[in-house]
Amino acid sequence: MSTPVEALCGARVGVVGLGRTGMAVVDVLVGLGARVSVFDARSGAIDALADALGADTAAQLDGALAGEDAAIAEAITGSDLRLLIVSPGVPATGPVLGAARAKGLEVWSEIELAWRLQRSSSRPNIPWLAVTGTDGKTTTVGMLAAILAAAGLEAPAVGNIGAPAITTVAAGRADALAVELSSFQLHSTRTLAPLAAACLNVATDHLDWHGSMAAYAADKARVYARTRRAAIYNVADGVTMTMVEDADVAPGCRAIGFTTAAPALGQIGCVEDLLIDRAYHADRRHSGAELGTLADLAHLAPGGDASQLPTHMVADALAAAALALATEAVAADPAAIARGLRAYRPGAHRIVTVAQGGGVNWIDDSKATNPHSAQAALTALREGTGVWIVGGDTKGASLHDLVRAVRPHLRGAVVIGRDQAAVLEALAEQAPGLPVVTTPHGRPEAVIDAAVTAAAAMARPGDTVMLAPACASWDQFDSYVQRGDLFARYADRAAQAAASAPDQDGH
């Protein structure tokens, strides 16, 4: 298929998954004249589609099926579909994509459709700046969008964050796109050619979806394919450098590293409290150009103290700067980097202080859904001051290395999750003697209420209670958002109670 407009008009296209992104895909496809069939495992998804997009759009569908993955796979096998566009939730090793492969059916992600729509639009050369990695994607993309905005561009954060990319491309108003890409999205993305791309890091995650660590890493590496100007890698993560070395990038694309240490030639890094460019500026062989200071990130540190900035937060800012400098707008106005970093505000549920009381800080990092992300957050705490709320769906990952790394920073742990065996085993083997409290399975509100109550009893003045579960939320919550929102509510209640309690002298 050459372009969506030419190829999709009249074509039979299947859309699997009718979440927000899936609905946006259906809306665009119907507008392009495609004959669309929709599939979703949820019984109410079809009705929700009609409610969201309107009866007229729903009436133009070629077919609809609400059923389990096996039923959807069977329907696909017996269909005359030319193309399948899949939700990121459809696993690579599952029956749906298995049926598509057996049938020889072309499979796209929503990102692939959005890219092809962009290329066929009246503004085909809008730069896409793509970011993937196990951790830090959302923060980096948010910082990147803020920098681009500071340079005067209309540059929303899209993809795995913000609005679906397809919605933004269809609106046609963006000057650039800061695109967060998960390994799920990259798995079915075929022709994306970003101006600049970065893989921030690679650690064990989503093995249940991909089937193996090698498959997971291979999908992450797809972010670099066809990159045109700058392939950004993490100096501290050799896997990302190898990805760049092996990538089939466009002629003239440069490899640029980011590091929290002093940068070598071809890198962006830190010298004392300065963010320094030795990758882009004209005299990079002899000196570095200042891009900003750690003070520009101080609002992201506990208590606004730049000296307490988590290392990974600085690394994310450097990666965002490296991506932004690939654009003409930021290259012409590098001071936009400092302005953008000062303007950036983190999204919900990513190392956000949600309550303070009785000398205890309560931090919501519900978005830390894997061990690598949780480790980055917890190791930023002073030794012996962390009360850790941990647990959920481990997605097949081991927590042993995580517990060993964070043990010095902990006062104790509170374990949530329907099945707590893997978490408790890691704590027992890697942190013997650490106080541990378990919470019973129940309604989401009851789970968090019990966890917060246990954490409050364990914490001392000067401590931090951190929800950094290192696990997915699906076993007990609708999403990590619900988990984080409930934590913020009950933490605020606990903090207020602590703040109003009499001190040890009874005053």
The CATH number of residue 199's host domain is 3.40.1190.10
Domain stops at, among 343, 372, 401: 343
Q: Which residues pair with 230 in a beta bridge?
A: 196, 254
Q: Which domain holds residue 455?
A: 352-498
Whether 256 and 275 map to the same domain: the answer is yes
Whether 218 and 296 map to the same domain: the answer is yes
Residue 2 lies in a domain: no
Whether 372 and 296 map to the same domain: the answer is no
Q: Which residues pair with 232 in a beta bridge?
A: 198, 256
Q: How far apart are CA 507 and CA 496, in angstroms?
A: 16
Instruction: Return the closest-CA partner of residue 377 out of 356, 363, 391, 397.
Output: 363
Residue 371 lies in a domain: yes
Give alpha helix (H) positions in 211-272.
213-221, 238-246
**The tokens 């997009």 sit on which residue?**
53
Whether 136 and 83 map to the same domain: the answer is no
Helix (H) or strand (E) holding 388: strand 386-390
DSSP 41: S
The phi-psi region of residue 486 (left if phi > 0; otherwise alpha if psi is between -120 and 50; otherwise beta) is: alpha
Pairing verdict, β 274-277 and 289-293: antiparallel
Instruction: Return the closest-CA partner of residue 46 out of 22, 30, 69.
Output: 22
Whether 292 and 206 map to the same domain: the answer is yes
HSE-up of residue 5 (Cα within 13 Å, Cβ side): 7
Instruction: Return the closest-CA partner of residue 81 out of 109, 115, 39, 25.
Output: 39
Interacting residues of 280 by C-beta distance below 8 A, sequence separation 6+: 256, 289, 325, 331
Whether 131 and 242 map to the same domain: the answer is yes
Whether 256 and 367 map to the same domain: the answer is no
Contact 43, 20 (CB under 8 A): no
Residue 427 lies in a domain: yes
In this prediction, residue 210 carries a pLDDT of: 54
At residue 53, φ and ψ (nearest 5 deg) are -100, -10
The CATH number of residue 23's host domain is 3.40.50.720
Whether 424 and 286 map to the same domain: the answer is no
In this prediction, residue 504 carries a pLDDT of: 45
Contact 302, 361 (CB under 8 A): yes
Per-residue pLDDT of the chain (507 residues), as tens digits, is 445 567 899 999 999 999 889 999 999 999 999 999 999 988 788 888 878 877 777 778 888 888 888 999 999 999 999 999 998 878 777 899 999 999 999 999 999 999 999 999 999 999 999 999 988 899 999 999 999 999 999 999 998 787 899 999 999 999 999 999 988 899 889 999 999 999 999 886 655 655 688 888 899 999 999 999 999 999 999 999 999 999 999 999 999 999 999 999 999 999 999 999 999 999 999 999 999 999 999 988 866 788 878 888 999 999 999 999 999 999 999 999 999 999 999 877 888 888 999 999 999 999 899 898 899 889 888 899 999 999 999 988 899 999 999 999 999 999 999 999 999 999 999 999 999 999 999 999 999 999 999 999 999 999 999 999 999 999 999 999 999 999 999 999 999 999 887 654 444
Instruction: Return the closest-CA partner of residue 202 out of 247, 180, 225, 234.
Output: 234
Beginning with the edge strand found earlier in the chain, give each strand of the sheet holding 254-258 in spatial order: 157-159, 177-180, 128-132, 196-199, 230-234, 254-258, 267-271, 274-277, 289-293
Could you count the other beta carbons within 10 Å of the beta carbon of residue 252? 7
Secondary structure (3-state) at 289: strand
Whether 91 and 74 map to the same domain: the answer is yes
How many domains are contained in the chain?
Answer: 3
**pTM for this prediction:** 0.80
Q: How far apart are CA 34 and CA 399, in angstroms?
A: 46
In this prediction, residue 64 carries a pLDDT of: 87
Residue 182 lies in a domain: yes
Q: What's at 265, amino acid-wise?
A: L
